[in-house]
Each structure stands twice: as C-alpha cells, then as structure tokens.
C-alpha cells in the first residue's frame, strides 16, 4: 500500500466539520508569515501540521485559537464563527507556559476560572488532570521545583482541564522522555476518540515525523515564503500504529520528502544539501531533520 493523498471520497471526510479556517493569514506589520490557509478538522479526527522551522506553524495555531487576531480570513467552530479566544479551543504552547508563583494545581485551576464551578469541583478536576499526566504526587509543587518535562505536563493538564472541543498542541512532547511522551500521546489520542469527553479533534504541530505518523489521520504541510498550506496527506494505517507496520516508514519518508522539496512560489525554504538526505533516509535523519 502506497502512502495516499486524501481525496474527496475518503470516508472520514464525510463526518461533520469541527474547526474550519478559510483564507487565514497573519502578518507582523507588513510581513505576512502565512497567508491563504484553509484547514478543516472533522469530529473524532487527529490532524497534524508540519513545516520547516520558521514557517509559521505556532503563529498559525495561535491565530486558529484567536489568541492573536488573524489579518485575513475566518475561523469557524462547529459552524459558528470564532471572533475571540474561547475555552472551547485550548492550546498547549511550544514554550512551556506555567506561572511560577502558582502550584501545579493552581496552574491547572486557572483554566477553570471561566467555568462557573465551585472551588471544590475545580480542585477535583485539576487533580484528575494532573493524575492523567502522571503528576499526582506533585500537585503542591511550584514550577521551579519541577523539571521542564513536568512543567510541560502541567501545561497539558491545564489545556485539558477546560474540557475543550479542539486541542491545539504545539510540539507538546519535546521536553519529555520517550516513555512519558508515548503514554501522553496515547492518552490524548484516546481522549479525542472517547465519546464521553468533550474533545472532538486535535491539531498537532510537530517536527517529529514518527510522532506525526503515529497520531495523525491527516497531515497539512506548510511551506513557502510567506507560508501557505502546500499539501494534505492522509495517513491510512490501522491503529494502534507502530513502526513494525511495514508501511509506517513509507509515510515518514513521504512526509520527509514533502518537507525537503515542497515549496510554493518556486522558492525552497530548505537548501539542497538537506534534500540529499532523502536518497538514504534513516530514522535518525528523520528525527533530526530540524
């Protein structure tokens, strides 16, 4: 089975759209970081966005969540236009964002302030979320007492605590050891597919192409200058996915190839020497392409 490009006939695309953006663009001053981006997530879908460093992936996620106001275009959640930040869309940021003067539990409870729930319920929810990310023994610790990976797990717990419908994940696992990262990947993935949770879809930004193939149903490729979405690739592998599936690495190769060669407006972001790596792809090369 060769890696496939999503077509209109893909049965997954028959489900209801969840988060949609059309013509999205963002400029710092007069300089567009990305423009004319269209993206759709469907219910029970895990989508990934990949692209070279500096191509605007983090800015794109922030614009999707309306944490910054897009310069052009529109965002819709479940058919309604998004015009301001909403607890229905949560984001785990690339740089670890915990408040140093608050304990782990208070950091997570912060996400529940906009919900009209009592303190006892907020405490219970935050403890449950910290337990989920493996920090049940650290609820009263302050960020300075934690490792980078632990602080990142607090950020993930906070993003999940608000019971979002869409979870935006900006390289959420880079600070974690592989074992913890793998547990969290599976946990977040199962939350997206669990009908009892509010979470309906997730968008992951990652430079780890193995992680992308493990998790994503579809992958959007950003590239160009200014960036736009230059391709969309469906990952058609049975779950749970492991590298033991002979087609797993075909997809990794395909994504690697996309990143190395794809360009828009005829301009490559990556110079040719990196593209040469494609001739002899190796797992190490894929992991270290950044």
* Chain length of the chain: 290
Question: According to CB under 6 A, which one of 33, 156, 169, 219 is a site residue for ligand ATP?
Answer: 33
Determine the angle formed by the axes of helices 119-132 and 148-161, rounding to 10 degrees: 130
Enumerate residues 44-63 that contact Mg ion by CB under 5 A: 58
* Residue 35 sits in the site that holds Mg ion (CB under 5 A): no
Give the contacts of 231 (CB within 8 A, at least 6 positions apart). Answer: 5, 220, 221, 258, 262
Question: According to CB under 6 A, which one of 20, 32, 45, 57 is a site residue for ligand ATP?
Answer: 57
CB atoms under 10 Å from CB of 213, counted, come to 27
Give the contacts of 216 (CB within 8 A, at least 6 positions apart). Answer: 46, 47, 48, 204, 235
Task: Establish how many alpha carbons lie within 13 A of residue 283's alpha carbon, considering only the half-sphere containing its beta carbon.
Answer: 6
Helix (H), strand (E) at residue 76:
strand 72-77
The closest residue (CB) to Mg ion is: 58
* Residue 58 sits in the site that holds ligand ATP (CB under 6 A): yes
- In three-state secondary structure terms, 273 is helix
CB atoms under 10 Å from CB of 25, counted, come to 20
Structure tokens at 191: 């939350």
Q: Identify which of residues 213 and 222 has a Cβ nearer to ligand ATP in the complex.
A: 222
CB-CB contact of 111 with 90 (8 Å): yes
Q: Identify which of residues 15 and 95 has a Cβ nearer to ligand ATP in the complex.
A: 95
Please state, in angstroms and rounded to a whole number, the distance separating the CA atoms of residues 188 and 210.
16
Q: Identify which of residues 130 and 211 has a Cβ nearer to Mg ion in the complex.
A: 211
- Quote the least distance from Cβ 31 to ligand ATP, whole Å: 7
Please state, in angstroms and rounded to a whole number, the distance separating the CA atoms of residues 233 and 4.
7
Q: 198 contacts which partner out of Mg ion, ligand ATP, none, CB within 5 to 8 A by kind?
A: none
Q: Identify which of residues 59 and 86 has a Cβ nearer to ligand ATP in the complex.
A: 59
- Quote the least distance from Cβ 272 to Mg ion, whole Å: 24
Q: Identify which of residues 36 and 163 has a Cβ nearer to ligand ATP in the complex.
A: 36
* Residue 56 sits in the site that holds ligand ATP (CB under 6 A): yes
Q: 23 contacts which partner out of ligand ATP, Mg ion, none, CB within 5 to 8 A by kind?
A: none
Pairing of strands 218-224, 227-234: antiparallel
Q: Identify which of residues 62 and 185 has a Cβ nearer to Mg ion in the complex.
A: 62
Q: Identify which of residues 49 and 161 has a Cβ nearer to Mg ion in the complex.
A: 49
Identify the bridge partners of residue 5 per DSSP, sorted by sequence position: 233
Question: According to CB under 6 A, which one of 25, 51, 70, 143 is a site residue for ligand ATP?
Answer: 51
CB-CB contact of 256 with 263 (8 Å): no
- Quote the least distance from Cβ 26 to ligand ATP, whole Å: 9
- Quote the least distance from Cβ 245 to ligand ATP, whole Å: 27
- The structure tokens 């990262």 sit at 181
Question: According to CB under 6 A, which one of 36, 71, 87, 94 is a site residue for ligand ATP?
Answer: 94
Total interface residues for ligand ATP by CB under 6 A: 11
Chain contacts with ligand ATP (rule: CB under 6 A): 28, 33, 51, 53-59, 94
Chain contacts with Mg ion (rule: CB under 5 A): 58, 94
């Amino acid at each position: 089975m060769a890696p496939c490009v999503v077509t209109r006939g893909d049965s997954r695309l028959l489900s209801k759209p969840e988060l949609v953006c059309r013509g999205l663009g963002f400029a710092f001053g007069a300089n567009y970081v990305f423009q004319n981006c269209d993206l759709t997530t469907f219910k029970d879908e895990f989508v990934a966005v990949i692209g070279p460093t500096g191509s605007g992936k983090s800015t794109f996620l922030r614009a999707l969540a309306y944490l910054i106001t897009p310069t052009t275009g529109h965002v819709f959640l479940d058919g309604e236009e998004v015009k301001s930040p909403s607890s229905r869309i949560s984001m785990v940021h690339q740089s670890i964002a915990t408040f140093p003067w608050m304990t782990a539990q208070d950091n997570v409870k912060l996400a529940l302030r906009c919900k009209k729930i009592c303190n006892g319920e907020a405490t219970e929810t935050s403890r449950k979320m910290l337990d989920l990310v493996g920090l049940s023994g650290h609820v009263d610790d302050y960020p300075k007492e934690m490792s980078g990976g632990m602080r990142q797990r607090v950020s993930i717990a906070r993003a999940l605590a608000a019971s979002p419908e869409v979870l935006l994940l900006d390289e959420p696992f880079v600070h974690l050891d592989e074992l913890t990262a793998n547990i969290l990947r599976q946990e977040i993935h199962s939350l997206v597919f669990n009908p009892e949770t509010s979470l309906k879809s997730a968008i992951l930004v990652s430079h780890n192409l193995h992680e992308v193939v493990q998790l994503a149903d579809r992958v959007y490729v950003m590239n160009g200058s200014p960036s736009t979405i230059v391709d969309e690739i469906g990952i058609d592998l049975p779950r749970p996915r492991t590298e033991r599936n002979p087609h797993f690495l075909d997809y990794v190769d395909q994504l690697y190839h996309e990143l190395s060669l794809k360009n828009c407006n005829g301009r490559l972001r990556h110079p040719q020497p990196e593209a040469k790596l494609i001739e002899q792809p190796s797992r190490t090369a894929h992991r270290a392409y950044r």
